Amino acid sequence: MQATEIRLASRPDGFPTMADFAVVDTEVPAPAEGQILVRNLVMSVDPAMRGRMRDTKSYAPPFAVGEVMSGGAVGEVVESTVDAFKPGDHVLHQLGWRTHAVVDAKHAVKVDANAAPLTTYLGVLGMPGLTAYSGLLETAEFKEGDTVFVSGAAGAVGSVVGQLAKLKGAKRVIGSAGSAEKVRHLVEDLGFDAAFNYKDGPVAEQLRAAAPEGIDVYFDNVGGEHLEAAIDSINLHGRMAICGMISQYNATEPTPAPRNLVQIIAKRFTMRGVLVLDHFGLQKQFVAEVAPLVASGQLKYEETIVEGIRNAPEAFLGLLNGANTGKMLVRIT
The pLDDT tens digits for 106-131 are 999 999 999 899 999 999 999 999 99
Mean of all residue pLDDT scores within the chain: 96
**Domain at 2-115+302-331, CATH class:** alpha beta
Average pLDDT over residues 69-77: 97
Instruction: Report d(CA 231, CA 220) in Å as an integer.
Output: 11
| Mean local confidence (pLDDT), 190-194 | 98
pLDDT band for position 253 (50/70/90)? confident
Instruction: Write the pLDDT tens digit of every residue in 49-69.
Output: 999 999 998 888 999 999 999
> What is the rounded CA–CA span in Å between residue 260 and residue 117?
44
Residue 14 CA from chain centroid, whole number: 21
User: Which residues have CB under 8 Å from 317's CB, separation 6+?
Assistant: 15, 16, 17, 18
Q: So where are the chain's domains?
A: 2-115+302-331, 127-277
Closest to 309 (Cα-Cα) out of 30, 9, 28, 43: 43
Is the pLDDT assigned to residue 251 strictly greater than 80? yes
pTM for the model:
0.92
**pLDDT given for residue 51 in this prediction:** 93
User: pLDDT category, 1, cuts 50, 70, 90?
Assistant: confident
Mean pLDDT, residues 158-171 taken together = 98
Options 3.30.420.610, 3.40.1280.10, 3.40.50.1370, 3.40.50.720; which CATH number does 127-277 get? 3.40.50.720
Q: Give the C-alpha separation, 7 to 21, whole Å.
A: 6
pLDDT in tens, 12-56: 999 999 999 999 999 999 999 999 999 999 999 999 999 999 999
Q: Provide the CB-side half-sphere exposure for 303 (13 A, CA).
A: 22
Q: In which band, very low, low, confident or very high, does the pLDDT at 252 lie, cut at 50, 70 and 90?
A: confident
**End-to-end CA, the chain:** 14
- pLDDT reported for residue 254: 86
Query: Mean pLDDT lowest for which of 131-135, 159-163, 250-254, 313-317?
Result: 250-254
> What are the Cα distances from residue 123, in Å, to 15, 72, 118?
25, 10, 9
Q: Is residue 285 over pLDDT 90?
A: yes
Model pLDDT for residues 207-240, shown as the tens digit of each residue: 999 999 999 999 999 999 999 999 999 999 999 9
Answer whether residue 156 shows pLDDT above 80: yes
